[in-house]
Amino acid sequence: MGFAMIAFIGTAVLSDHIQSHRITVPESYSDEDLDLQGKRLKGYSLGAEGLLADWYWMRSLQYVGDKIVRSTDTTINLDDLNSLNPRLLYPLLDNATDLDPKFINAFVYGAVVLPTVDPEQAIKLGWAHGALMTTFPGDTTMATLDQVRAFAKGGSARIQR
């Protein structure tokens, strides 16, 4: 009992010390950073890449919603979300599509929301993905994100199969 009480008091003192010496960051950096990248998680997820992709996609939905709720602006222009500073939106969607390249909902959501952040990049990737999608049978994509990026940068539409 005595050791537990000493540990508890030590933890409280240490916590107060850390809190009082915390560095102040600008408001634009109030987002939490991504600790893990989808490319690195892919080999360690034990076959649960689809579940992790869903989690990152849901996180991207919540991220934009939270930005809108916390905004002090009286009106938000949905055609230009730069005022919300959604700096983690692309990495969240990138993780979802890295983990599950055939996850169409993440691509569709990105196609709707990302043009309000970086229209030029969204148009390039959307055009490249649409062009590559026509080379596959059916209505699902089999193009990987690396293939879409390579084609968007001016690469060949020919896919190595």
pLDDT of residue 35: 61
Q: Which of 140, 147, 139, 35 is nearest to 95 (CA)?
A: 35
Q: Which domain holds residue 56?
A: 2-117
pLDDT of residue 1: 67
Residue 126 lies in a domain: no
Top-confidence residue, 145 or 10: 10
- Residues of 118-136 as b/e, b for ≥16 C-beta within 10 angstroms? eeeebebbbebbeebbeee
Residue 85's region, left for phi above 0, alpha for psi from -120 to 50, else beta, is left
Residue 87 lies in a domain: yes
Number of structural domains the chain divides into: 1
pLDDT of residue 153: 80
Sign of the CA dihedral running 44, 46, 51, 55: negative
pLDDT in tens, 12-57: 888 888 888 776 656 655 556 566 677 777 777 787 888 888 888 8
pLDDT in tens, 49-107: 888 888 888 888 888 888 888 888 888 777 777 777 777 888 888 888 888 888 777 87
pLDDT of residue 29: 56
Residue 20 lies in a domain: yes
pLDDT in tens, 118-139: 667 767 777 787 777 777 776 5
